[in-house]
Amino acid sequence: MTSNLMTELMNDFRGDSLSSVASAVGQNPATTQSAIAAALPALIGGLANKASTPDQASGLLDLITRNKLDSDTFASASSAVKAPGGINSLINVGRPLLDSIFGSRSGAIIDWVASRSGVSRSSSSSLVSIALPIVLGLVAKRLRSTGWSASNLTRLMADQRMYLQDAPATLAGVLSAEEIPITRHVRPDTEDVPKRRMPAVPVYETVPRNRNAWLWALPLLLLIPLIGYFLARNDESRSDVAVQSRPAPREAVPAAPEETPVGTSSEPAALPSGLGPYDLRFETRSQSLGAQSSQQLREIADLMRTYPRAKAEIKGYTDNAGNDAANMELSQNRATAVMNEIADLGIDRSRMTAEGYGEANPVASNATAQGRRQNRRVEVEIKDR
């Protein structure tokens, strides 16, 4: 009997698993479930396209084994979320996998899920990254029971297409562009030419000799003395003019500043003093940034673009509401959310670190609502190295 992966996964994203994912992406459970319902057909449909040939299926199997997604940990949402590292581990595995499998289509999938469910692009990116390892883990579980082979993977993913018939028509447009190959430019005159073809040998026409052909040059030879005479007279005339009309001395003009040679870096040497750290605020038990933080995020991204060697240290903190373990996880999720937002603005993740510190380092007293609001923050410090 054919297995409907999407139905099984939707049934698995419930209860505590759903609540954990909703908390991680900064959305309520109902909205998160709607986003998952959009993400799963997009991911399964994309994987079906990527496993349509034996070579593609073999490559996908290799990705699964290299990332250890064939273990029981990733066989269900509940086991993956409860594993050591939980949500953060899923995101760290899922993000590079998303780009590796879907390439430029990963952004289109994230945008499509966001538009279908109404979540922010950052939340959609995190949710798709969480879901992808779980989808691949369930695929691996099915293959362990039917036989670990490229042909079985191709068959399994092809069977999923009939369950995707009710998916929105716009999803097909998102996934179809994925199959357009990226090729290097080939000159039209060299296409489909056998490699062993020898280069063409230039052929020169042989001009028949004519013994009287040199006679045409006689008039030119007679003109040479006459041309020399006029050139000499012209030089004498210019010399006389130069002596009689010597130009008046001109004021010295300052030399123009030297231009920066082509290829020389104009990158600023060091960060300006007095920067940061930037403080980004959150609501109680939430991972959603306030509206005023958007401008700060743009400033951070602009600054890092201006100074390509700069790196960002992102530190998440909470107030003292709740238990220590939950606050530690929440602070890490907040720091990760800020890193994701900056990455979405075009900054490479390799230039950023995100770390949660829970209730540590309060900047105000937790005894008042105002103080707790100040302690619920993410600090972003920009450094030269």
Q: Is residue 316 part of a domain?
A: yes
Q: Is residue 121 part of a domain?
A: yes
Same domain, 11 and 130: yes
Domain range holding 121?
5-179
Give me 280's structure tokens.
């980004």
Write down the residue that tokens 């990733």 correspond to: 74
Give the three-class secondary structure for 289.
strand
**How far apart are the C-alpha atoms of 298 and 303, rounded to whole Å?**
8
Cis check for the bond before 225: say yes or no (omega within 30 of 0).
Answer: no
Q: Is residue 249 part of a domain?
A: no
Question: According to the model, what pLDDT value does residue 217 have?
Answer: 56
Last residue of one domain, picked from the residues 124, 147, 179: 179
DSSP state of 279: E
Q: Is residue 242 part of a domain?
A: no
Question: According to the model, what pLDDT value does residue 164 have?
Answer: 82
DSSP state of 97: H
Question: According to the model, what pLDDT value does residue 207 have?
Answer: 43
Same domain, 63 and 174: yes
3-state helix, strand, coil in the chain (%, to 5): 60, 5, 35
DSSP state of 282: B
Q: Is residue 238 part of a domain?
A: no
Q: Is residue 220 part of a domain?
A: no
Task: Write out the DSSP string of 334-371.
Answer: HHHHHHHHHHHTT--GGGEEEEE-TT-S-SS-TTSHHH
- CATH code of the domain in which 302 resides: 3.30.1330.60
Same domain, 163 and 15: yes
Question: According to the model, what pLDDT value does residue 2 have?
Answer: 65
Last residue of one domain, picked from the residues 146, 179, 212: 179
Provide the domain count of the chain: 2
Q: Is residue 288 part of a domain?
A: yes
Give the three-class secondary structure for 78.
helix
Per-residue pLDDT of 162-219, as tens digits, reads: 888 777 878 887 877 444 333 333 333 333 334 344 444 444 444 444 445 455 556 5
Same domain, 287 and 169: no
Q: Is residue 93 part of a domain?
A: yes
Give the three-class secondary structure for 259.
coil
Instruction: Give the containing element (helix H, strand E) for 148.
Output: none
Last residue of one domain, picked from the residues 141, 158, 179: 179
**How far apart are the C-alpha atoms of 125 and 106, rounded to whole Å?**
9
Name residues whose C-beta falls within 8 Å of residue 371's C-beta, 6 or more positions apart in sequence. Answer: 319, 362, 364, 365
Per-residue pLDDT of 119-135, as tens digits, reads: 899 899 999 999 999 99
Per-residue b/e over 105-122, b at no fewer than 16 CB within 10 Å? bbebbbebbbebbebbbb
**How far apart are the C-alpha atoms of 316 and 337, rounded to whole Å?**
10
Question: According to the model, what pLDDT value does residue 62 have?
Answer: 93
Question: According to the model, what pLDDT value does residue 222 have?
Answer: 62
Question: According to the model, what pLDDT value does residue 290 have?
Answer: 64
Q: Are 46 and 112 in contact (CB under 8 A)?
A: no
Same domain, 296 and 147: no
Same domain, 28 and 156: yes
Q: Give, for all 385 residues of the chain, the pLDDT tens digit.
A: 567 898 889 988 989 889 999 998 989 999 999 999 999 999 999 999 989 899 999 999 999 999 999 998 998 998 999 888 889 889 999 999 998 898 878 888 999 999 888 989 989 999 999 999 999 999 999 999 999 999 999 999 999 988 887 778 788 878 774 443 333 333 333 333 343 444 444 444 444 444 454 555 565 566 666 666 555 555 444 444 443 444 444 444 444 444 444 444 455 556 776 676 888 877 666 666 766 677 888 888 888 888 888 899 999 999 998 888 888 988 898 898 899 889 988 899 889 999 999 999 999 998 998 888 889 899 999 988 6
